Amino acid sequence: MGQPTVVAVHRSASHSFSKFAEDAIMLVEGLGVEADAHSGRTVKHRSRVARDPAQPNLRQVHLLQAELFDELIAAGFAVWPGDLGENITTRGIDLLALSTGTRFRIGAAIVEVTGLRNPCSQIDRFQPGLMAAVLARDPQGGLVRKAGVMAIVVATGEVRAGDTILIESVQLSHTPLAPV
């Protein structure tokens, strides 16, 4: 496997399910993706705002591995980068295996992984059966969420397709990702 890379970048100024392809996006420290509906220091996801609008935004950037699109297409789904609402589509890095707190350089920015994206019912409204396809069970019967990871921006920088991804730091002890 080669160097992990960015396949595509996306954003949407509205709270739409899918995001639009861009040539480049700017990740802004402490805020997220510039001009994206989920950018901000406090939570922007509608259901979380309804519960507590003052909670910190741990979902500033959504990253999803292109390998999931390969799997979904092979299963008969017509789904492409940006369709599942991610800001950054990656290839060659097992995002789901990362530890909470892992920092990596992506393009000119640095992000810190905060947890898993917890897929919601909007996925099935986008394409029936897609929710089940982005969930699985591990050998112990635990739920595996495959819809990517969420991160915060710790250093501002531009990200574009073709940029490399480099792990900057990991926690001394592995803390498995949990939904945020």
Residue 178 lies in a domain: no
CATH number of the domain to which 78 belongs: 2.40.33.20
The DSSP bridge pattern shows strands 24-28 and 20-22 to be unpaired
Residue 175 lies in a domain: no
Residue 89 lies in a domain: yes
> pTM of the entire structure?
0.96
**Residue bearing tokens 């920088």:** 157
pLDDT confidence of residue 46: 80
Q: Measure the CA–CA gap between 107 and 155, rounded to whole angstroms.
A: 11
pLDDT confidence of residue 120: 84
**Grouped pLDDT means (10 residues each) for the chain, 180 residues:** 92 95 98 97 87 94 98 97 97 96 97 94 92 95 96 98 94 88
Q: Measure the CA–CA gap between 173 and 175, rounded to whole angstroms.
A: 6
pLDDT confidence of residue 1: 60
Domains contained in the chain, number: 1
For residue 118, with 0-12 CB atoms within 10 Å meaning exposed, 13-18 middle and 19 or more buried, which class applies? middle
- Residue 149 · residue 179 · CB < 8 Å: no
Residue 86 lies in a domain: yes
Q: Measure the CA–CA gap between 62 and 51, rounded to whole angstroms.
A: 21
For residue 30, with 0-12 CB atoms within 10 Å meaning exposed, 13-18 middle and 19 or more buried, which class applies? middle
Residue 74 lies in a domain: yes
The domain containing residue 134 runs over which residues?
A: 5-169
Task: Give me the torsion for CA of 27, 92, 20, 63, rounded to 10°.
Answer: -50
For residue 152, with 0-12 CB atoms within 10 Å meaning exposed, 13-18 middle and 19 or more buried, which class applies? buried
pLDDT confidence of residue 180: 92
pLDDT digits (tens, 9 = 90+) for 103-142: 999 999 999 999 999 988 889 999 999 999 999 999 999 9
